[in-house]
Amino acid sequence: MITFGNGRAIGYDDVGSGVPVLFLHGFPHSRSLWSPQLGALATPARTISMDLRGFGESARGEPGGVDGYADDAAALLDVLGIERAVIAGLSMGGYATFALWRRHRARVRALVLCDTKATADSEAAQGARVEMQALVKERGSMAVANQMITGMVGRTTREKNPELVDELHRMMSLAPVQGIVDALDALRTRPDSTPTLATIDVPTMIVVGDEDVLTPVKDARAMHLGIAGSRLEVIAGAGHVSNMERPGTFNHVLSEFLVSLTAQ
Ligand code: MLT
């Protein structure tokens, strides 16, 4: 579906009813990353996925960094008449989730930080973002998908689930070039969210695949230590897109987390 929020088109899906959960995808994905979760949780939930600015069916608009992604998420909640939602962000979606917490915390019922980290880019990582911008401008999104696909999934998925690797590669190769360029700026310039961790006072679950090489378990543990009362779930046999690689386990821990919220 497409709606208008923050002055531009936003692509989204909205399935089920119950506690609202808004899912934010990583780089360079689209909302289809979350198809294994939509309508598939064991607890009643309104599962909503959205395309971040410049990806999928969402219009590009002004590049706004991770703050822009966060503002669009808040705008979508406005459009859907949702006051507070559980925000679940994977990797870049996690960086946007930290921004959403800083800018719109009244909209946050709880947080799910998936395969992401609090720290900013190192100098070397910033340089790699600039190099990737040159690559995508010269050779297109397929070249980015080719470069990223190996790290995007875990060893187990590469060995046992080539169909999923193909699906993910296809998703990434369809990402619009300009959306990728803008996102690389957003990634390169994102602030260090480490100081944000101590400000988080809503229920928080951190999920990470034990084979994630892009945002490894040690980054998840650092967030877990920094967020008082948070819960850490390490998913065996999953890499960076743990929700796609181990959807059964991921949906189970997410459902349990949602149940724990309603019990509070
Ligand atoms: C992502 O999956 O969103 C990216 O790998 C994040 C990053 O490169 O920092």
Pocket flag, ligand 1, residue 26 (CB < 6 Å): yes
Distance CA 240, CA 89 (A): 12
Pocket flag, ligand 1, residue 69 (CB < 6 Å): no
H or E stretch covering 234 = strand 231-235
- What's the gap in Å between 26 CA and the centre of ligand 1? 6
Among 23, 27, 52, 212, the mutation site with the greatest number of ligand 1 atoms within 8 A of its Cβ is 27
Q: Is 81 left (phi over 0), alpha (psi -120 to 50) or beta?
A: left
- What's the gap in Å between 91 CA and the centre of ligand 1? 5
Distance CA 264, CA 236 (A): 28
- What's the gap in Å between 115 CA and the centre of ligand 1? 9
The pTM (predicted TM-score) of the whole model is: 0.98
- Taking only the tens of pLDDT, the chain with its 264 residues reads 999 998 899 999 999 999 999 999 999 999 999 999 999 999 999 999 999 999 999 999 888 999 999 999 999 999 999 999 999 999 999 999 999 999 999 999 999 999 999 999 999 999 999 999 999 999 999 999 999 999 999 999 999 999 999 999 999 999 999 999 999 999 999 999 999 999 999 999 999 999 999 999 999 999 999 999 999 999 999 999 999 999 999 999 999 999 999 876
Sheet holding 204-209, edge to edge: 2-5, 8-15, 45-50, 19-24, 85-90, 108-114, 204-209, 231-235
Distance CA 54, CA 197 (A): 28
Q: At what angle do helices 177-189 and 65-79 cross, to 10 degrees?
A: 110
Pocket flag, ligand 1, residue 118 (CB < 6 Å): no
